[in-house]
Amino acid sequence: MPPGRARFDLNKQHFCLYFRLMKNDPADLIHGFDWEQRLPVVPQIQVTLNCNLACEYCFQKHSGGIIDLSTVDAILSAVIAHNLTVDPENRRIQVYWHGGEPLLAGLDFFREVIRLEARYPELSFDNRLQTNGTLLKDEFAGFLVENHFHVGFSLDGPAKVHDRHRRFASSGLGTFDAAMKGIECYRHHSRSDRVAAIAVVTRAGIGLARELFDFFRELKADVQLDIYDLRCRETDQNLGNGSSLFALAPSPREIERFLIDLFDLWFHDPDPRVDFRELRQEVKMILRPEIDRGSPIHKKRCDFRRLIFAPTGLAYCCDQWINDEQTALGDIHADSLAVILRRKAALWDAIKRRVRQSDGNMACGECEWGRQCGGGCISCVKYNALLLRARGEGLPDGRWAETVLPPRLDAIRGETYYCEGLRAFRRHAKQVVLKELGNAG
């Protein structure tokens, strides 16, 4: 049996058919200016901005209290009304609970959330909670399992990688051991040997593809890779010299090598016990070339259904903007969801016109994967830099497009600054998959 066959245990025809019969993802569809207003909203509720960790790469300011239950109620009510209007047949409401660290809200808070949702017996709630795991104990874990919360853990890899950036705010000590205790506690109650993890990949782990793969394989994890790109926080710095701009972000060449090594380990694994969401998506792109996310000018990496809600009830396009109230789209206590969505669509259209359509700002149109790739965050990072420059020049926020990008950001033409590395990786992955199809035939 060829080594890659065990990855799917399918012959050539079934190998293709499996992916072609996958339910269409809304992200695969062409979308334009008002698409967000015609889709169900997926709220991401920031339970608190506070956190018991002080992760080196975190973009949030950790302060403030817990979201009031009346604000949660207002968010859920508005989302339910909107979703049932745009899609009356869909009785499933997906809600993300994030922070900061959401478990700081305590068990009683989430008990009240379940009571709020119970007022809608005709609906099914898909609650998804992201945690660092260090506060998860037996009673809390049992509650989450009993009430069918999907729990994801922030885990960057083995201790020497994880503890490099993820430390307790109070002591400065690494959090790996505490996170693993939380994960094992959750596994005990869920009676599942699988665990969902988000792993941030920085320079600390970029040369350790084998070690990361072995660690997550042993853990039997379903992993979402968050390769550290530039963040909006970096636009607070002097981008003219870029002295610390790329301190955590790997280089394009490092990304290429890391992804190729990780892909080969994953794809040819004879006993697959770990899955990487991004790698599976790459295979999907290869096997389904008909997927078209539309013009590169319009596509977005972030889920265009997602709307971020701060503990105050302010709504945002992106959780990286949540530290800046002036970038809020509206207040759920004062503005309708329709108004918030219109503002979101208008802002994205303005970003596209100013940042993406400017000469030399994108290379996606000439890229082989330009219409399939989900892109990255550089457009929004550039917007943020322009906005801060406008303020620095004494201009109102609405005149951000009149300012000039810092040279280091202006030089980045892709949707990530490591697009060159991604293209090299995708060429490799395509060769591997097509070769496997030939072997399977």
Mean pLDDT, residues 369-381: 87
d(C-alpha 209, C-alpha 123), whole Å: 42
Does pLDDT of 2 surpass 80? no
33-37, 54-58, 223-227, 405-409: the lowest-pLDDT one = 33-37
**pLDDT at residue 311, as a whole number:** 98
Does pLDDT of 11 surpass 60? no
pLDDT band, residue 75 (cuts 50/70/90): very high
Q: Which of 321, 402, 407, 394 is CA-nearest to residue 354?
A: 402
Q: Which of 420, 423, 401 is CA-nearest to residue 357?
A: 401
For the chain, which domains are there? 5-440 (3.20.20.70)
- The token duo for 180 is 């693993």
Mean pLDDT, residues 130-146: 98
d(C-alpha 395, C-alpha 398), whole Å: 8
pLDDT band, residue 358 (cuts 50/70/90): confident
pLDDT of 272-286, one tens digit each? 899 999 999 999 989
Mean pLDDT, residues 79-97: 95
Which residue has better confidence, 11 or 343?
A: 343
Does pLDDT of 9 surpass 70? no
- List all residues 6 or more positions away from 197 whose beta carbon is below 8 Å from its beta carbon: 152, 153, 154, 155, 216, 219, 221, 222, 223, 224
pLDDT band, residue 416 (cuts 50/70/90): confident
Which residue has better confidence, 297 or 159?
A: 159
pLDDT of 158-177, one tens digit each? 999 999 999 999 999 999 99
pLDDT band, residue 27 (cuts 50/70/90): very low
